[in-house]
A and B are shown apart, each in its own frame.
Chain A
Amino acid sequence: SYELTQPPSVSVSPGQTARIICSGDALPKQYAYWYQQKPGQAPVLLIYKDSQRPSRIPERFSGSSSGTTVTLTISGVQAEDEAHYYCHSADSSSTYEVFGGGTKLTVL
């Protein structure tokens, strides 16, 4: 079965830049999406189609793609950004949707 791989955790100091990488064999063919989830809340879409940001999402969140990896970059991290982040995409035949295992971002 198809898998997306993310690091379990990332730590960064306030004001620094956090990068969360997601890897998967079908990512060159399929768009990736990123979500933020805080405890007890539903996920929130941060990035769609690899690098597009919904208007309500702060500009410090950005996405990029290169080969079999996609990256979520959070510039000028704030304490409120501490959360779990999930990447999402589809397999090469668009039959299955898949989520990465999630990355816990800790703001030191």
Chain B
Amino acid sequence: AQRVTQPEKLLSVFKGAPVELKCNYSYSGSPELFWYVQYSRQRLQLLLRHISRESIKGFTADLNKGETSFHLKKPFAQEEDSAMYYCALKMDSSYKLIFGSGTRLLVRP
């Protein structure tokens, strides 16, 4: 079955440290991958989608089909990056997003 795995429930780093939020997926077709962010008490916001290969707020993510991963990275974490991050998969035959369980990123001063 199609699945998105985010192995870390909580990731705590100091300001200025590099960050990598892990995401692995299981899907044999052509996946579309997204990262969503949810700041405290706010709505889910689209952060990145792999097809656009963009960098938002210093975050990047590369789709690695060999490792079935779409890890989110930022070289220097900021306190305002503290939030819940969700990785999501869209299958090419479907309208829906399949979400991972999320990783809470805490950036300490």
Bound pair (A, B):
no
